[in-house]
Structure 1
């Protein structure tokens, strides 16, 4: 039996999300649950799996075919093959089209995410200078456009990955990959994705990705001459995650806060003791941090209830 929400019902869901009664993710889940084919979930799931398998086999076969003679191909042929792969992925995604939620939307999102990767490789293969910068910028542009079209998690994650790659490529081109520039760039980028989460449909994925990027930037500074910047910033990010959890009540924030503390505390102890603590003691300390963080998390959940 086929059941579809009416335009009025769609509008009411959007109104509830805009007024903050429910989040946009919750509205999308309700829409996905109700605006679907009832009585035939297995069929939809089967076609979705076949779509993924087909895409993987096409890409795998093309990769094997090209890999056998890639080094012997002239540059125009390489660029042409990569551009053709990008075009095929985009065209197939547009042909499948359909709703943003549901199996077809997820398949299209994966195809556009793959297209962002092949587009980046196309540009990178075509240039001799600034190839990394141009490739990551192209991948980011295609991923962002794909997200505008389909609003899928895979293409959103591709956009986050390419934005981080763009920061790394820019630091390598203009700042000689110095630690401060990379750390600062990734932390600012993480803050930007966290802020963008307020207007994006997949809020938790966006701000979770932003926190991960910022934490990677903070950890990058641990290798500097003054590592306290690295674990200090990591602890600060973890504290912000715990504070945001009190407002947002998202398990993602709580988990990332625990990860931040687990990374930073052993690093701080190692630095303060000048490496005097052995590996087993650091493992023991990490376990203590997990236990304390777990106890705090349980108390917070109890307070929420």
Structure 2
């Protein structure tokens, strides 16, 4: 008689449910049943290898499909009408969504995808939904750019389409890829919406404030467990917060950027003390290392030169690293 892993699991579960096997001895029962069935059930390592190979095959197959589509349409895309272009993109998004939902159905829904043994299906579904978000956003962007006079508003609305599809994909199959699929269109939507609102384009403060707010909200959701992958969520939120603090530096209001970056660093050190999560410690070191040399270079109006700025960066990094190590030791001892 042959048996696979699912059959073996059902047999052992049946024995446990019938009270014939102590649940604490499930592992021993698993071994006994496998041996009694003539080792027909594959080993967990073999099953894991097959799942990984199937996952790789899925990614490779998808890459070939995308590559073939790119090659096919690259030569004819400009000759297609707008309706055909939008239809192809939205149709592609629909197909990818259908494939992701089929994977979810095979895993018995979102709850099944969240289970550890369905990690392969969860990752594949997430990639498919993220690809669908990109296709939907591109298609919506083409259509909106043709219908709206405001190009910035068209891009912002297209980014929102991608954000909504990515969010739906994350609800179906939560992964780090899904988080990135949500954050990227959000980062695109913020500045394009500001442009469409005819805000004072000479001031970078509204964009900086919104990016900072986005990073803070992301971190709050991470700490509250809304994001399933807490560590990547902390990294993403910290990166966006530092980016928001640095936005004024890229424009004409440098000093607010230095102060904001230093404040992000101090807040990150405090969050590390509270949570003991290393992304906050790393963010504190990086933010301080960025802010101090920038401020010194600006204060001396470039008189430090490249060597002076490099020296200031090195000293600041060294001091920040030492402070971080000291803080980590104190947190560990506490």
Q: The TM-score by the shorter chain falls in which range?
A: 0.7 to 0.9
2:105 matches 1:78? no
Aligned-partner Cα distance in 2 for 1:39–1:205: 27
Could you state the TM-score of these two structures normalised by the residue count of structure 1?
0.84
- Taking a change above 3 Å as real, the CA distance of residues 127 and 176 of structure 1, as seen in their structure-2 partners, is farther
CA distance in 1, matches of 2:195, 2:127: 29
Alignment correspondent of 2:183: 160
Runs of 4+ in 1 over 6 A off after TM superposition: none
Tell me whether 80-89 or 195-204 shows the greater mean CA deviation: 195-204
Aligned to 1:165, what secondary structure does the other structure show?
Answer: helix
Which of 126, 129, 133 in structure 2 is aligned with 1:109?
A: 126
Tell me by how many angstroms 1:108 deviates: 1.0
Q: Give the alignment partner of residue 190 of structure 1, picking from 207, 215, 229.
A: 215
Cα distance per residue 1:197-241 (max 9 Å; x no partner): 213122232232222212111111013333110011011011111
Q: Distance in 2 between matches of 1:113 and 1:176?
A: 34
Q: Is the CA contact 2:238–2:279 (under 8 Å) kept in the aligned structure 1? A: no
What is the DSSP-based 3-state SS (H/G/I as helix, E as strand, rest coil) of the residue aligned with 1:208?
helix
Question: What are the equivalent positions in structure 2 for 1:68-217 lying under 5 Å apart?
Answer: 68-97=75-104, 98=107, 99-100=113-114, 101=116, 102-128=119-145, 129=148, 130-174=153-197, 175=199, 177=201, 178-197=203-222, 198-200=224-226, 201-217=228-244
Calculate the TM-score normalised by the size of structure 2. Answer: 0.77
Contact between 2:204 and 2:253, CA under 8 Å: does it hold in 1?
no
Correspondences of 1:236-251 after superposition (within 5 Å): 236-251=263-278
CA RMSD of aligned residues (A): 2.0
User: In the alignment, which residue of structure 2 is the partner of 1:302?
Assistant: 329
Note the alpha carbon deviations across 1:14-60, whole angstroms, 9 max, x for none: xxxxxxxxxxxxxxxxxxxxxxx822222221111111112222122
Matched, 1:39 2:45: yes
- Asked whether the equivalents of residues 237 and 257 of structure 1 are also in contact (C-alpha less than 8 Å), the reply is yes
Distance 1:70 1:219 in 2: 39
- Structure-2 change in CA distance of 1:226 and 1:131 (3 Å): closer
CA distance in 2, matches of 1:195, 1:179: 24
CA–CA distance in structure 2, aligned partners of residues 122 and 300 of structure 1: 49
Q: How far apart are residue 176 of structure 1 and its match? A: 5.7
Larger radius of gyration: 2
Q: Is the 8 A contact 2:134 2:162 kept in 1?
A: yes
Segments of structure 2 that go 5 or more residues without pairing to the other structure are 14-42, 108-112
Q: Measure, in 2, the Cα distance between the counterparts of 1:226 and 1:118.
A: 37
